[in-house]
Structure 1
């Protein structure tokens, strides 16, 4: 589109900024509670709140309290939550077998939430790092992260989560070919309506640190994840990965992290028109919170501005730890 504008003083852009009413009329993008997915961390025990030091305001919660948090999400109108388990260290093994245990922490939480709040969409994480003694998203042999063997494990994990009642599976592992294998297994097992929100363009980022603390994988990680997560220098590769995952049966795609990769969000949405999401990851959240707590920025305004940045970049929704605060502000007419 080539805009047609007059010359100053006929054209004064400030006219449409004069008042709140005019600014609202001219606003190009809007933020809604329907754009939010709230990530939550679940741990074992009963009535336990375990604050995460590197993520102020975020805690690991026992299943009974996660259910209450899911009820809060529903009350606020947040359409979906996403579960991440903090697995007992004794259950983290080389073969990651706890990942597909029907009674593991994540699957237990799914059942409890769906029993209490059946209409909220429950999204899960499909990756082995919470169950892996090595802290990696895939099976490890002699220091090598195995692709095809990991896919077999991820399929079993996906079927267990679908059986527990998950509405959306979120494969975050970045193994080649896992979407097609998961989709085929879901179809064959009768879980045809379970959606896949693929972490299609997940970068090997420094912004994941607090999350790894939250799920207990950071201290266990041996090496790095650069052989399967994307090089931050690449953009065209992201489009190829998204195209592949959509072709293999992904219903939605995600870019991760969020704000440092808004250019990728825009390119993905423009190229494919598919439902596109971003994950405002733990490091992004922690930076805004830390700066706000130090009085260096207005935390609420920065939070809302960051949300609008995702919408402006073409995202249909955002996974964000700010979800309940944003929803509350929107309900109050903010």
Structure 2
């Protein structure tokens, strides 16, 4: 089989020697996945694919019909974006096999019509859900889980960024942490709120290890699922804490640039996807920042005039307005 592969032939070789999808996934996992930013997530996706019946088939026997059927069934269980990522992995694998593994005869069976993906999640816990979540979180015996959830909300950091945080990345004097090798490929310095600082200082005094939050991802995920189950909360992911934290930063009055500095979003459009401000909070902010005097108060003052005839007179003649005010004119 190896000789056929590197000969670059464009005809189908002996099927008995051809890789199955499962074998190709193992090869891809060993050679390609380690070089990717999201290698951990991709490797988990590979292991899931290997359990599917299609993994037993030879690559050249896989057809678009196989993956159309897969997509149809998978959409009954998971979100569109999850299915899109599942199929994207197989599509890339076939491209690598054809271009780099000496299998130019392979045709990509995943050239399907692209799934439309939602513009973004807007999941925030409702008041009663938040109460139940906090109650069960406080019951969690692993204090590290409670601290990580609180820190995630305060910093809007991703789960992986928090778990990779090292003691050397903390600057208590400047009240900053540095998240290394983030999803965007950059290191990100993030200022700490007082509450976030208390969490970090407490942890650094509690243990001598290099990992600030000494817990495995599997342990965190298991605890998270138990909390949601006991709180009877559905469709709430750990990543939604990043949405929650980002939204709270805006609700506290930080500017867009300040929030971007903390969250690391490259574009405003991406940042806004992570923001679901409560309209009632926006109304409160408008009231709190309403100017007490000046041109912005002219309309309010005008309608507060007594008697009503004075308001009518103001509308009829520009002389009734202060000389410093230029009334709006309709565009011709």
Fold shared by both chains (TM-score > 0.5): no
Q: TM-score, normalised by structure 1?
A: 0.22
Identify, as 1 or 2, the structure richer in helix.
2
TM-score normalised to the size of structure 2?
0.22
Higher relative contact order (CA 8 A, sep 6+): 1
